[in-house]
């Protein structure tokens, strides 16, 4: 038997405006301009430039920040996130879609690896059958440049999807042609084959070092990966000097000819969100000017709304027009406020980090970094941890010591013999120096590294040393051994 029951449930949901603000907050400087341009295109009530007689964004921001520190006159997010605010994408007429929550900002992309390879394929004098085989092979190349799908499986793919009957010899013949493409080492089926392809394409193949390197990779690849140099010397009849030259040549080859994890050839630049300058011996933080676009509400739209509001006609068409204009005006006001709130939040967070890590910013010495977690900064600025996380994960600061992502300054603490907490970055720095200065013929094991760190006063376990070593991309002792 079915029954109807009433129940009260208390739940929290993010409004569309809150979602949009969160997205604005986590957008880095490099993408903010595109986001502003997008808003200017879809909202005619929003314009570039500042109101007549109005201070610049930078001046307003500086004033607001100073006043906010004194008597809490910061822009209040609640002022424009309340439910009765007829603002940005709040109407139920299709202006806001739940799908927009998952939409990401478009990123500029480069030429894909597959496109480059297909272009090179087109220059070969192949018949249609060979071209189809070549395209199938290129389509099987993974983002790092390797073909891991077996050739027998590719033959079956050709039969089912392209209606091409072929055999192993024909596929291998086309594969060898593809393996001659750039970048060198592409379409290899294993690391060993990848290195051999690159060595065989060296300009001076008759060079003795090249020939010895090919012999080592061909005949002693397993021993080479495990650094069993004594076995290689005997098996290939090489001197220690020969082997040093061979190792130097092989280690300069590219083990991932496909490049990035997404298979795109793309140049990326870090645009700092904050600039740190020393003024009279004290650090001073400013926002990158690209974070402060000059925006204003369209005067013509405001006047249009006032005229419609005063109109005597109250027919449905006019009401719809008034509603549309009001919605665009509210959206423009909200977006301008959200940009200001974004600037306020960024500065507030960065000032808290600067205060917390003052010693580092004065000297740039990594060992001066204090242990700091998201909660430490969230408590200082009286904001949620998730807000600090969004700022830290996508922003960077330019200092006289270099450009650092904000997440660089967050680290766990390690206790010392004196009972003090030091940043794990300090421990990692000491660990790196120990490895850099070790005798390469007898590299330090993790147990020895633990003892040396303990002698320096760091209470650290072996498993932690192993974890830090892996994070620093330092191989185990056996693989660090050199002749």
Question: 132 and 50: one domain?
Answer: no
Question: 377 and 415: one domain?
Answer: no
Helix or strand run (H / E) with residue 402? strand 402-405
Residue 7 included in any domain: no
Residue 77 included in any domain: yes
Given a contact cutoff of 8 angstroms between Cβ atoms, the answer to whether 409 and 369 are in contact is yes
Query: Angle at Cα 188 formed by Cα 185 and Cα 191, nearest 5°?
Result: 85
Q: Which of 351, 385, 419 is the last residue of a domain?
A: 385
When computed from its CA atoms, the radius of gyration of the chain, rounded to whole angstroms, is 31
What's the Cα-to-Cα distance from 188 to each of 126, 369, 453, rounded to whole Å? 21, 44, 42
Does the pLDDT of residue 57 top 60, yes or no?
no
Residue 403 included in any domain: no
Question: 85 and 134: one domain?
Answer: no
Model confidence at 175, pLDDT cuts 50, 70, 90, reads: very high
Given a contact cutoff of 8 angstroms between Cβ atoms, the answer to whether 271 and 404 are in contact is no
Question: 153 and 231: one domain?
Answer: yes
Structure confidence by residue, pLDDT tens digits, 67-100: 444 444 343 433 333 333 333 333 333 333 334 3
pTM of the model: 0.51
Question: 123 and 241: one domain?
Answer: yes
Question: 331 and 205: one domain?
Answer: no
Task: Check residues 424 and 144 and name the one with the higher pLDDT.
Answer: 144
Question: 357 and 449: one domain?
Answer: no
Residue 390 included in any domain: no
CA atoms of 173 and 191, how far apart (whole Å)? 20
Question: 158 and 121: one domain?
Answer: yes
Give the rounded percent of residues in the chain with a pLDDT score beyond 70. 77
CA atoms of 116 and 120, how far apart (whole Å)? 6
Question: 327 and 200: one domain?
Answer: no
Residue 432 included in any domain: yes
Query: Angle at Cα 20 formed by Cα 17 and Cα 23, nearest 5°?
Result: 150
Task: Find the range with the poorest average confidence among 239-248, 284-293, 372-381.
Answer: 284-293
Structure confidence by residue, pLDDT tens digits, 352-392: 999 999 888 888 887 788 888 888 999 999 988 888 888 88
Q: Which of 315, 350, 385 is the last residue of a domain?
A: 385
For residue 55, report the phi and psi dihedrals to the nearest 5 degrees: -65, 160
Given a contact cutoff of 8 angstroms between Cβ atoms, the answer to whether 187 and 179 are in contact is yes
CA atoms of 444 and 341, how far apart (whole Å)? 51
3-state secondary structure 12-80: CCCCHHHHHHHHHHHCCHHHHHHHHHHHHHHCCCEEECCCCCCCCHHHHHHHHHHHHHHHCCCCCCHHH
Nearest to 476 by CA among 445, 453, 439: 445
Question: 186 and 293: one domain?
Answer: no
Domain with 453, as residue range(s), is 411-480
Q: Is 112 helix (H, G, I), strand (E, B) or coil?
A: strand
Nearest to 423 by CA among 386, 468, 392: 468
Mean of the per-residue pLDDT values for the chain? Answer: 78
Q: Which CATH number goes with the domain that contains 435?
A: 1.10.10.60
Q: Which of 220, 251, 282 is the last residue of a domain?
A: 251
Residue 29 included in any domain: yes
Domain count, the chain: 3
Helix or strand run (H / E) with residue 250? helix 240-251
Does the pLDDT of residue 279 top 80, yes or no?
yes
Does the pLDDT of residue 240 top 50, yes or no?
yes
CA atoms of 14 and 345, how far apart (whole Å)? 19
Task: Find the range with the poorest average confidence among 112-126, 149-163, 300-314, 341-355.
Answer: 300-314
Question: 366 and 286: one domain?
Answer: yes
Residue 391 included in any domain: no
Note if the bond before 149 is cis, omega within 30 degrees: no
First to last CA, the chain: 83
Question: 427 and 352: one domain?
Answer: no
Residue 122 included in any domain: yes
List % helix, strand, coil for the chain (3-state, nearest 5): 55, 10, 35
Nearest to 177 by CA among 116, 123, 214: 123
């Amino acid at each position: 038997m079915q029954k109807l029951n009433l129940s009260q449930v208390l739940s929290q949901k993010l409004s569309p405006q809150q979602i949009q603000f969160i997205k604005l907050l986590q957008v880095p400087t490099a993408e903010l301009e595109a986001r502003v341009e997008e808003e200017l295109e879809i909202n005619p009530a929003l314009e570039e430039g500042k109101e007549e007689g109005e201070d610049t964004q930078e001046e307003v921001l500086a004033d607001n920040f100073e006043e906010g520190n004194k008597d809490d006159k910061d822009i209040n997010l609640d002022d424009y996130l309340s439910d009765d605010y007829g603002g940005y994408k709040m109407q139920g007429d299709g202006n806001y879609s739940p799908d927009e929550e998952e939409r990401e900002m478009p990123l500029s992309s480069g030429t894909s690896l597959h496109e480059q390879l297909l272009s090179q394929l087109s220059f070969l004098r192949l018949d249609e059958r060979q071209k189809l085989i070549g395209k199938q092979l290129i389509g099987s190349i993974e983002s790092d440049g390797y073909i891991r799908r077996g050739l027998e499986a590719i033959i079956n793919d050709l039969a089912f999807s392209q209606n091409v009957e072929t055999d192993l010899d024909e596929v291998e013949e086309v594969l060898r042609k593809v393996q001659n493409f750039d970048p060198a080492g592409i379409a290899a089926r294993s690391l060993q084959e990848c290195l051999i392809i690159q060595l065989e394409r060296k300009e001076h193949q008759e060079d003795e070092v090249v020939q010895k390197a090919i012999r080592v990779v061909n005949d002693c690849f397993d021993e080479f990966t495990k650094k069993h140099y004594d076995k290689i010397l005997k098996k290939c009849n090489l001197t220690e000097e020969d082997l040093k030259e061979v190792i130097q040549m092989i280690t300069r080859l590219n083990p991932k000819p496909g490049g990035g994890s997404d298979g795109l050839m793309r140049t990326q630049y870090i645009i700092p969100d904050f600039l740190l300058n020393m003024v009279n011996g004290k650090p001073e933080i400013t926002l990158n000017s690209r974070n402060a676009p000059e925006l204003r509400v369209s005067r013509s739209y405001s006047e249009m709304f006032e005229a419609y509001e005063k109109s005597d006609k109250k027919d449905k068409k006019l009401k719809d027009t008034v509603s549309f204009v009001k919605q665009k005006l509210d959206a423009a006001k909200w977006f301008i406020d959200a940009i200001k709130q974004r600037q306020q939040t960024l500065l507030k967070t960065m000032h808290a980090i600067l205060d917390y890590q003052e010693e580092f910013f004065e000297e740039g010495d990594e060992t001066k970094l204090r242990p700091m977690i998201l909660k430490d900064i969230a408590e200082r600025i009286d904001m949620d941890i998730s807000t600090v996380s969004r700022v830290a994960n996508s922003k960077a600061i330019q200092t006289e010591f270099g450009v650092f992502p904000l997440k660089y300054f967050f680290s766990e603490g390690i206790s010392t013999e004196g009972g003090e907490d030091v940043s794990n970055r300090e421990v990692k720095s000491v660990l790196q120096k120990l490895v850099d200065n070790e005798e390469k013929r007898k590299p330090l094991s993790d147990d020895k590294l633990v003892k040396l760190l303990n002698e320096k006063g760091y209470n650290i376990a072996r498993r932690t040393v192993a974890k830090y070593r892996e994070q620093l991309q330092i191989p185990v002792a056996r693989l660090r051994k050199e002749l």
